[in-house]
């Protein structure tokens, strides 16, 4: 199983809503990542978790709140988002943090209205 599974695939939310994006992997990877990608742009790193602890926060606004309940799951909680937060949110994992093959999920398309 070399999959990173993300749900939902599509999400439309209002600016006052609270929603969550979920990511799951069963490869025994101990590093998990959230990326944000706008149209026709490369992905931008948001957060890195290493051994279930937040390792990197790329100065992401607090309306995005990551959570790593266990080594297989990574959540991104969303609250009071802005329309400019509409993007593809990609989850990824690797064996450990650093230079190892990285596996990406299919992404969650988020639209904030």
Partner 1 sequence: KNEVEQSPQNLTAQEGEFITINCSYSVGISALHWLQQHPGGGIVSLFMLSSGKKKHGRLIATINIQEKHSSLHITASHPRDSAVYICAVGGETSGSRLTFGEGTQLTVNP
Q: Does 103 bind partner 1 (CB under 8 A)?
A: yes
Which of 48, 76, 81, 112 touches partner 1 (CB under 8 A)?
A: 48
Residue 6's alpha-carbon distances to 40, 59, 91, 102, 113, in angstroms, are 21, 23, 7, 15, 22
Give the Cα separation of 58 and 52 in Å (integer).
17
Instruction: With contacts defined by CB under 8 A, name the span among 22-30, 31-39, 59-67, 70-78 that binds partner 1.
Output: 31-39
Residue 47's alpha-carbon distances to 14, 21, 33, 93, 113, in angstroms, are 23, 14, 6, 12, 24
Least Cβ distance, residue 54 to partner 1 (angstroms): 12
Instruction: With contacts defined by CB under 8 A, name the span among 13-21, 65-73, 77-85, 100-108 that binds partner 1.
Output: 100-108
Instruction: With contacts defined by CB under 8 A, name the span among 11-19, 67-75, 76-84, 105-113 that binds partner 1.
Output: 105-113
Give the Cα separation of 4 and 89 in Å (integer).
13
Q: How many CB atoms lie within 10 A of CB 48?
A: 20
Contacts with partner 1 by CB under 8 A lie at 31, 33, 37, 40-43, 45, 48, 55-56, 88, 90, 92, 94, 97-107, 109
């Amino acid at each position: 199983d070399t999959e990173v599974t993300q749900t939902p695939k599509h999400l439309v939310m209002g600016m006052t809503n609270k929603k969550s994006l979920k990511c799951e992997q069963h490869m025994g990877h101990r590093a998990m990542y959230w990326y944000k990608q706008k149209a026709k742009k490369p992905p931008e790193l948001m957060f890195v978790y290493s051994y279930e602890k937040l390792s990197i926060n790329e100065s992401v606004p607090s309306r995005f709140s990551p959570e790593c309940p266990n080594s297989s799951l990574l959540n991104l909680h969303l609250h009071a988002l802005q329309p400019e937060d509409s993007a593809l949110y990609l989850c990824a994992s690797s064996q450990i943090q650093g230079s190892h093959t990285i596996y990406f999920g299919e992404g969650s398309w988020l639209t904030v209205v």
